[in-house]
Each structure stands twice: as C-alpha cells, then as structure tokens.
Amino acid sequence: MDDVGIEAAKAALRSEAHKRRAQLHPSLRVDAARDAVRHFLDGVDVGKGDIVAAYWPIRDELDIKTLIGRMMDAGQPVCLPVVLGPEEPLDLRLWQDGAPLYEAGFGTLAPADNAPRVEPDVILMPLLGFDKRGTRLGYGGGYYDRTLAHLKKRPRLIGFAFARQEAEHIPRQAHDVPLNTVVTELGVRNFEKAPIT
C-alpha cells in the first residue's frame, strides 16, 4: 500500500476510533482512568530522575491528571506539551512545583512561556488507536512525529488508551515510531520492535 492508500486507511480508522471512544459512558471513563493509572504505577518502571512528558487530557481522552499529580508529588520531573503551530514540533515545558498552568489552546493547560524547555526520557501519549504491534493511531496532525524527529534522543513511548481502542491492524509508515508500551484499564502491554508494514 502506498502512502496515499495508507493515509486513506488511517483516516477511516480515525473516524471509527473517534466513534468507539465517544460511546464510552462517563462512569466507565472514570473507572478506566483510575485503573489505568494504577496499572501504570504498579507495572511501569520510570527512573526517579527521568523527565516524563505527560499530556493534559482533552475531550474524551483517557484522563491521566491523577497520574501527573502523583508523579509531581513524588518529585518526578514532568513536562507538558504546547502546540506552537501546525508545522512545528511540540514545545515541551517543565512544570515546576507550585507553578501555575495556563490555557494553551485546544482545551489543554501548560506551564508558562518562560518555563524551562526539556527533552523527555519518557513520553506519555494520548491516542485514538493502537494495534498488537504497538502502532499508534494519532489524530493526524503529525505533532508527535515532528517532535520525535526533532529530539536528540529517542524517549520511551507509552500510550494511554481505553482497551476498546485496540484495532486489528494499523498501517505503519516510515515516520511512524511504534509505542514501547500501552496502558489501558486492563493492564500494561509492552511491544517488541516490529517492522514497518
């Protein structure tokens, strides 16, 4: 399948994934978020000094704000992404203890403009879908792709999703970096490196 065909297939998968995620009842979302955070804390090893790029959940994404709070309380360095422009990589700003967050567009919150910029060791990523090989289906804007290409080191990529977001197969292009791990309300899954198909 060529890139045009892959993009068309991904667009169809995104449409279906949005529908599946939107169908979750609010009470199930709360329970799933609680369980996913517990699975992460119990099953994912993050070094004490590792910088973790989290995300501030929007719309119907799996809510990890509790996890962000737990990491901050434990002294884990946490940064949050800011969208600077449609063709720019994400601006990763360190959230320092006690510093306020500000509206950063798209319904997200982020540290102030003068917060230190950092390169994360671990990136927690929202997603629309994932498959058994760890291929991530994003929103199609390419923000994480550009960010990963811009970083000097390759961080661990950990997706957060509802279990129902798993797809049978997501086509992968050369620029698609697979997840190392995905965390859902059902547990933690680690992926082996798989070839591009």
User: Is the C-alpha dihedral spanning 118, 122, 124, 127 positive or negative?
Assistant: positive
Residue with tokens 């973790």: 52
Q: Which residues contact 26 (CB under 8 A, 6 or more apart)?
A: none
Determine, yes or no, domain membership for 59.
yes
Q: What is the pLDDT of residue 98?
A: 87
Q: Which residues contact 155 (CB under 8 A, 6 or more apart)?
A: 53, 119, 120, 121, 122, 123, 148
Q: What is the pLDDT of residue 193?
A: 64
Identify which of 141, 133, 144, 107 has the alpha carbon closest to the alpha carbon of residue 189: 133
Determine, yes or no, domain membership for 196.
no
**Cα–Cα distance measured from residue 83 to residue 106, given in angstroms and rounded to the nearest whole number:** 9
Domain that holds residue 167: 3-190
**Cα–Cα distance measured from residue 129 to residue 122, given in angstroms and rounded to the nearest whole number:** 19
Which stretches of the chain drop beneath a pLDDT of 50? 195-197
Determine, yes or no, domain membership for 126.
yes
**Cα–Cα distance measured from residue 63 to residue 58, given in angstroms and rounded to the nearest whole number:** 8
Determine, yes or no, domain membership for 177.
yes
Determine, yes or no, domain membership for 161.
yes
DSSP state of 27: H
Q: What is the pLDDT of residue 134?
A: 95
Determine, yes or no, domain membership for 30.
yes
DSSP state of 178: P
Q: Which residues contact 42 (CB under 8 A, 6 or more apart)?
A: none
Determine, yes or no, domain membership for 90.
yes
Number of structural domains the chain divides into = 1
CA 39 to chain centre: 16
Q: What is the pLDDT of residue 136?
A: 95
The CATH number of the domain holding residue 143 is: 3.40.50.10420
Q: What is the pLDDT of residue 143?
A: 92
| β-bridge pairing 181-184 and 156-160 | parallel
Check if the beta carbon of residue 179 is closer than 8 Å to that of residue 166: no
The pTM (predicted TM-score) of the whole model is 0.92
